[in-house]
Structure 1
Amino acid sequence: MQMQLLSSPFTIFKLLILTLLLQVIPTLTLSPCKTTCGSIPINYPFGLEDGCGAPQFRHMLNCSTDLFFQTPSGSYKVQSIDYDKKTMVIYDPSMSTCSILQPHHDFQMTDVQSAIIPPSQDTVFVLLNCSIDSPVLNHYKYLCFNFAGHTCDELYGSCNAFRVFHLLTNSSPPCCFTSYSTVKFMSMNILDCTHYTSMFNTDNLKGVGPLDWVYGIKLSFSVPDTGCESCRKSGGTCGFDTDTEGLLCLCSSFANSTRECAAGSIISKGQNNAPWTHYLLVLLFVAYFFSLG
């Protein structure tokens, strides 16, 4: 009876299928890190899950309905990430623009964020409706600079949102074109200015009116040189140990290595045992095929 069963062509076919399953299933890939949030790609050095990306950028991004950049002062919607130019454009929903006046608000970053992903050189902050006693108009007036020939009068005259400042005083209150370092070290209360706005790509704004400025904040990030090129070439994703923050090569959701994934397999050198879920799949396939006979 047993010899007849094993000699059955259909049984031999099932055994061949089972053999293939045993070889293939343990190497199925379960991606360890999300690669997109909406339409925005998430690549190194960023990561959405803890342990993905570079440890310096840990917990900076959050993906809910959209991608957000997290700072001590709030969540800022990420509009785009350019990995070639190493820039990220974010938008502050509480920031005033030429078309909308928002309540008083500060933009703050952690010391780590200020060091590795600060606002770019072509991002300008504008302090609006400042008092005559404002530090940037007195002791720290050197912090204000000429911005492509634009003036406070132009802002208050061209923008519907800022025109109210001119109407309330029948004059143009002082304003200040400045860099991120000013708002980094001094709050809006200390600066004695009621509102702020910011725009980027300022190198191209000479002769361009405020209505056509691109409002938002461009951040310029640096990519840590952790030697993870070999990890990427082996099919892995650069990540880190959540306890030690040491470099890891994430080969799948269940395996990792210190440098690269094992050649010819998605399972790493550091952990080459398939998880129990894969063995369960094998048993289910075995039960299914033999139930057909």
Structure 2
Amino acid sequence: MQSTDSTLIPSAIFKLIITLALQLRTLPTLAALSLCRNSCGSIAIKYPFGLDDGCGAPQFRHMLNCTTDLFFTTPSGIYKVQSIDYDKKSMVIYDPAMSTCSILQPHHDFLMTPIQSIIIPPTSDTVFALLNCSIDSPVLNHYKNLCFNFSGHSCDELYGPCNAFRVFHLLSNSSPPCCFTGYDTVKYMSMDILDCSHYTTVINTDDLKGMGPLDWVYGIKLTFSVADTGCERCEQSGGSCGFDTETEGLVCLCSSYMNSTRECAAGSITAEGQSHGPPRLLFQALVLILGTFLRMMTLS
């Protein structure tokens, strides 16, 4: 009976060693996998943005999602991202339900969360054109100072050349009031309060002087700010900037099993100065089991 036990135990230990060795063999492959996706379609994804939870800056958490295209999410909807310029720190999004010169859509509001309004608001050269407004609209009365002309353009230009907006002129046999305004107006007043039936948005308005609405660029340009968190140091060391999903503290993502608070140094040392990666733990277990196995073989 003792002979059977002494045979089974080394055999079981030997099988365990083989299993651990095979797992250890696959770890370099796991380490090579990137934790954070760095693109969606043709658009590069860099800090402060992230597609996977824990990637990028925590303030931008859950703002972007990637299916076949990249989308920006706000309380009022999901908007297709057309481009991101990391040098100029700007993003251009497009509302598929927005009216333009060529298509008339039912009106709705453009809403952002309070944090989005602070860290990634529409740029000053993004103009909201409120169309077919009632004569009782607050922006035509008490808050008429919120309306302005941009680059010498007027409301009549929209009701004339634009096929989609010409219907307003035909229905009233005149040009109904409209208002060119900024994001702060629609931020604090809904379209129902503004009493305007439709809206469109135009970007790069500083470059549109002398250009008709058929040549305007429609969309919403957002500008984002990036806090100096030492991310550049992490990226230069081969890591990706991210955050702890529970504490939202800065983390340098070094591999699929090791992180650091600053940079990806040799051994991926953490803030406490200790490596917590599975390779080290598996290696120690392998040595311990192998030593036990050899001792038992010697005793037998």
Amino acid at match of 2:167: V
CA displacement, residues 227-250 of structure 1 (integer Å, 9 cap, x when unaligned): 222211211111000001000000
Is structure 2 residue 42 aligned with structure 1 residue 39?
yes
2:277 matched residue in structure 1: 273
Match of 1:205 in 2: 208
Q: Distance in 1 between matches of 2:115 and 2:62?
A: 12
Question: 1:268 offset after TM fit, Å?
Answer: 4.4
- Alpha carbons 1:198, 1:216 under 8 Å: kept: yes
Distance 1:253 1:164, change over 3 A: same
2:128 partner SS:
strand
Structure 1's unaligned 5+ residue stretches are 1-17, 280-293
Kept in 2, the 8 Å contact 1:254–1:275? The answer is no
State the partner residue of 2:240. Answer: 237
- Partner Cα distance (1:49, 1:131) in 2: 45
Give the distance between the partners of 1:252 and 1:225, measured in 2 at CA.
23
Match among 72, 78, 87 for residue 81 of structure 2: 78
1:162 pairs, out of 159, 162, 165, with 165
Larger Cα Rg: Structure 1 or Structure 2?
2
- Deviation, structure 1 residue 149: 1.3
Matches within 5 A, 1:49-68: 49-68=52-71
Does the residue aligned with 1:218 lie in a helix, a strand or coil?
strand
Structure 2 unaligned blocks of 5 or more: 1-20, 284-300
Match of 1:75, SS?
strand
SS state at 1:129 partner: strand
Determine helix, strand or coil for the equivalent of 2:218: coil
Query: CA offsets, 1:207-266, max 9 Å, x none?
Result: 100000000000000012112222112111110000010000000122111111123x5x
One-letter amino acid matched to 2:94: Y
Distance 1:47 1:167 in 2: 47
Please list every run of at least 4 consecutive aligned residues from structure 1 whose deviation after the TM superposition is greater than 6 angstroms.
21-24
What's 2:229 paired with? 226
* Cα-to-partner distance string for 1:249-288 (whole Å, 9 max, x where unaligned): 000122111111123x5x4445442369x99xxxxxxxxx
Q: 1:189 corresponds to which residue?
A: 192
What is the deviation of 1:47?
Answer: 0.2
| Amino acid across the alignment from 1:46 | F
Question: What is the one-letter code of the residue matched to 2:277?
Answer: N
Deviations 1:14-70 (A, max 9, x none): xxxx9xx96993884221100000010000000001100000000000001110000
- Residue 7 (structure 1) aligns with: none
Q: TM-score, normalised by structure 1?
A: 0.83
Normalising by structure 2, report the TM-score: 0.82
